C-alpha cells in the first residue's frame, strides 16, 4: 500500500492518535492507492503506517510524522493486544538494530539511549550485523568491543560476522559470498585491498591473512559473540527463531539466518522475540515479534527498542 499526503499536518510530541485519525478522516487530506483501485480515504493512518510493507511518500512537513512513529510508545494494553501477552523484561532493556558499518549513527544513538535511561539500571543489547555495506566496520567493531567492557552491554553475533569469520577460516570457499554481500567495504575499512569477489584463490588467501593481522584481538572477540540474550519473557536474537521449536532448543543457523515461518507466525508461548536481519520501513512490535532493523546503512535510521515492564518505545537517529 502507498499512502499519499495531499495536505500538510504539523505534528508535535503531544499529538494523539485521535488527532491524526480526525485529520485523515477529512476528505482530501490523505488517500491510499493500491493496484487496480482508485484512491480512497484511509480510516486509521496509525494502523496503516505501522504495517511493515507500507511505503510512505511524504512532503517536507510530514517528515515529522515518521519521527513521531519512530518514538511512539506501546502501553501494556496495546502490547497484549498485539502479541497476546504483555512485554516483561527483568529490567529496562535497549535492543539496537543492525549497524552495518555506520559508526556515525552508532555515536548518534548512544547518547539518546543514555538520556532515555536517565540513570536507571538497564541492559543494552546489539543484535549483530556490525560489519559490511557501510564504510566504517573497523571503527564499529572497536567501539562495540570497548562498550562491552561494561557489564550491562551484550553484543550478539549476526550472519555478517559469521560470513567474515568464514572468510578467515576458508577464504577460497567463502570469499565470494562474503565479498558480494558487503565484505569489500569491511576489508577497505581495515586497509585491506587487492581482492574482489571473482579473485583467484591465492588472492583470497592473501586478503584473509591481511585481515587477520588487521583484526588482531578483535578476531577472538568476534568468535566469542553469543547468539541470544534473554530477559524475563523477552529473547533477543539476530534473525529469528523457529516457531515450532522451544526457545531453548533453537539451531544456531536459525538464530543467525532466520526461519521461513518466523515473520508470519503469531507467538503463543508468552514470549517476545526481538530481532534484526530483515529490514523494516519502521520498527514494529506485533504478534510476539519486535523488529529493529531499519536499514541503517542505506536509510540513516539506526533504531533501538526501549523495552520497559509496561511500555515499549522506539528511539532512532532520524
290-309 pLDDT, tens digit each: 999 999 999 999 999 999 98
**Torsion sign across C-alpha atoms 69, 74, 80, 84:** positive
CATH tag, 74-158+225-316 = 3.60.21.10
β-partners of residue 237 are: 228
Tell me the pLDDT tens digit for each residue of 207-256.
999 999 999 999 999 999 999 999 999 999 999 999 999 999 999 999 99
Give the model's confidence band at 310: pLDDT under 50 very low, under 70 low, under 90 confident, else very high: confident
Cα-trace Rg, the chain = 21
> What is the predicted pLDDT for the residue at 45?
36
Cell triple for residue 154? 551484550
Q: Does the pLDDT at position 34 exceed 90?
A: no
DSSP character string of 94-145: EEE---TT-HHHHHHHHHHHHHHHTT--EEEEE-S--SSSSS-HHHHHHHHH
Cα 178 to the center of its chain, rounded Å: 20
Query: Measured between alpha carbons, how far is residue 62 from residues 6, 9, 96, 219 in Å?
Result: 10, 7, 25, 44
Q: In what order do the strands lie in the sheet with 303-307?
A: 73-75, 311-316, 303-307, 92-96, 122-126, 153-155
Domain boundaries, the chain: 2-70, 74-158+225-316, 161-223
Mention every residue, 6+ apart, whose C-beta is less than 8 A from residue 143. Answer: 103, 106, 107
Mean pLDDT of the chain: 81
- Biggest CA–CA distance in the chain, Å, is 66
Residue-wise pLDDT tens digits, 74-117: 544 444 445 557 899 999 999 999 999 999 999 999 999 999 99
Whole-angstrom Cα distance, residue 2 to residue 5?
10
Indicate the Cα dihedral angle 310, 227, 275, 246, nearest 10°. -70
**Segment (H or E) for 209:** helix 201-215
What pLDDT score was predicted for residue 82? 52
pLDDT at position 268, please? 86
Place of cell 576489508: 187
Per-residue pLDDT tens digits for 169-213:
999 999 999 999 999 999 999 999 999 999 999 999 999 999 999
Backbone angles phi, psi at 292, to 5 degrees: -125, 5
Nearest to residue 289, comparing CAs of 248, 259, 251?
A: 259
Report the C-alpha gap between 294 and 276 in whole angstroms: 8
Contact 141, 218 (CB under 8 A): yes
Give dist(CA 309, CA 232) in Å, integer. Answer: 9
Q: Which residues does residue 265 pair with via DSSP β-bridges, in sequence order?
A: none
Rounded to whole angstroms, the Cα distance separating 237 from 128 reads 8
Segment 131-153 mean pLDDT: 96
Amino acid at each position: 500500500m502507498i499512502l499519499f499526503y495531499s495536505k500538510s499536518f504539523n505534528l508535535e510530541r503531544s499529538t494523539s492518535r485521535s488527532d491524526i485519525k480526525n485529520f485523515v478522516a477529512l476528505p482530501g487530506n490523505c488517500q491510499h492507492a493500491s493496484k487496480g483501485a482508485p484512491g480512497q480515504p484511509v480510516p486509521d493512518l496509525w494502523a496503516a503506517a505501522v504495517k511493515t510493507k507500507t511505503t510512505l511518500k511524504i512532503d517536507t512537513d510530514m517528515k515529522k510524522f515518521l519521527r513521531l512513529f519512530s518514538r511512539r510508545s506501546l502501553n501494556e494494553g496495546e502490547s497484549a493486544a498485539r502479541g497476546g501477552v504483555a512485554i516483561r523484561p527483568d529490567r529496562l532493556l535497549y535492543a539496537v538494530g543492525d549497524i552495518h558499518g555506520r559508526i556515525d549513527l552508532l555515536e548518534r544513538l548512544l547518547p539518546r539511549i543514555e538520556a532515555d535511561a536517565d540513570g536507571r539500571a538497564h541492559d543494552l543489547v546489539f543484535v549483530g550485523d556490525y560489519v559490511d555495506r557501510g564504510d566504517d566496520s573497523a571503527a564499529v567493531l572497536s567501539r562495540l568491543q570497548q562498550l562491552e567492557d561494561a557489564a550491562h552491554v551484550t553484543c550478539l553475533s549476526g550472519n555478517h560476522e559469521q560470513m567474515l569469520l568464514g572468510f578467515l577460516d576458508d577464504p577460497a570457499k567463502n570469499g565470494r559470498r562474503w565479498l558480494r554481500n558487503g565484505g569489500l567495504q569491511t576489508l577497505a575499512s581495515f586497509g585491506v585491498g587487492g581482492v574482489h569477489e571473482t579473485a583467484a584463490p591465492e588472492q583470497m588467501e592473501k586478503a584473509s591473512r591481511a585481515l587477520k593481522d588487521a583484526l588482531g584481538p578483535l578476531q577472538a572477540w568476534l568468535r566469542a559473540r553469543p547468539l541470544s540474550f534473554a530477559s524475563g519473557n523477552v529473547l533477543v536474537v539476530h534473525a529469528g527463531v523457529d516457531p515450532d521449536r522451544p526457545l531453548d532448543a533453537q539451531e544456531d543457523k536459525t538464530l543467525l539466518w532466520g526461519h521461513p515461518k518466523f515473520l508470519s507466525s503469531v507467538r503463543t508461548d508468552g514470549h517476545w522475540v526481538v530481532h534484526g536481519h530483515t529490514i523494516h520501513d519502521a520498527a514494529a512490535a506485533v504478534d510476539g515479534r519486535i523488529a529493529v532493523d531499519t536499514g541503517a546503512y542505506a536509510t540513516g535510521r539506526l533504531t533501538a527498542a526501549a523495552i520497559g515492564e509496561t511500555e515499549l518505545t522506539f528511539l532512532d537517529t532520524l
